[in-house]
Structure 1
Amino acid sequence: MAEPVIDIEVVYAAVDRQKLLQVTVPEGTSLRAAVQASGIGQMFPELDLEHCPVGIFGKQVMDPQLRVVEAGARIEIYRPLLADPKEIRRQRAAKAAEAKRLSGL
């Protein structure tokens, strides 16, 4: 008898291009194994699929080797942040405060 399968999506957005793949995997496949099976590593060779952060529908999964994917899941592969968003906001606020102070003189 054939092993039951499920359909999922695997997505990745690089700086210059993005890819959404429809993938069929065996039921019980881990999140990390599903990403490997998608073939996205051949399209984006710069990705380290063993260690890159991944999530499902916008929520990062902390242990993708153990998390089993469900039918219809949208697996997202995340790029590392180039800058800390908190630090950018802090710098922007300081710049605005300085501009306000200078315009008040």
Structure 2
Amino acid sequence: MVSEASQVQVCVAYATPSEEFIHPMRVPPGTTIGQAIEGSGVLARYPEISLVTQPVGIYGKKKTLDTVLRERDRIEIYRALVADPKDSRRRRAAKKG
């Protein structure tokens, strides 16, 4: 068993339009993003998450599920955008003009 002192502190984050899931946890060195997500309980709480189709990342940079975690990594599970950001900007600009 790995002692708690030698474990890596990470956080798993996921957000819906109405709530956010943030789960700090300690994992053994060598743990991957996929393993941490599975161990966090987020998949049981949000069954709509599909790691096959939804990208994941660390601090806004897309990563693969087999990426090995480092101390203080924040694992993020991304959802599809509801609106195209370019279209949203165009609509806002049209309202101002």
The secondary structure found in structure 2 opposite 1:48 is coil
What TM-score do the two structures reach when normalised by structure 2?
0.80
Question: Which among 19, 22, 25 is matched to residue 20 of structure 1?
Answer: 22
Deviation at 1:25, TM superposition (A): 2.1
Structure 1 vs Structure 2: percent identity of aligned residues? 37
Q: Whose radius of gyration is greater, 1 or 2?
A: 1
Aligned-pair RMSD on alpha carbons?
1.8
Select 2:43's aligned residue among 41, 44, 49.
Answer: 41
Task: Give the Cα separation in 2 of the matches to 1:38 and 1:51.
Answer: 19
Unaligned runs of 5+ in 1: 98-105
Name the count of aligned residue pairs: 94
Deviations 1:10-43 (A, max 9, x none): 1111112111112222211221222122111111
TM-score, structure 1 as length reference: 0.75
Q: 3-state DSSP class of the match of 1:12? A: strand
C-alpha separation in 1, matches of 2:52 and 2:46: 13
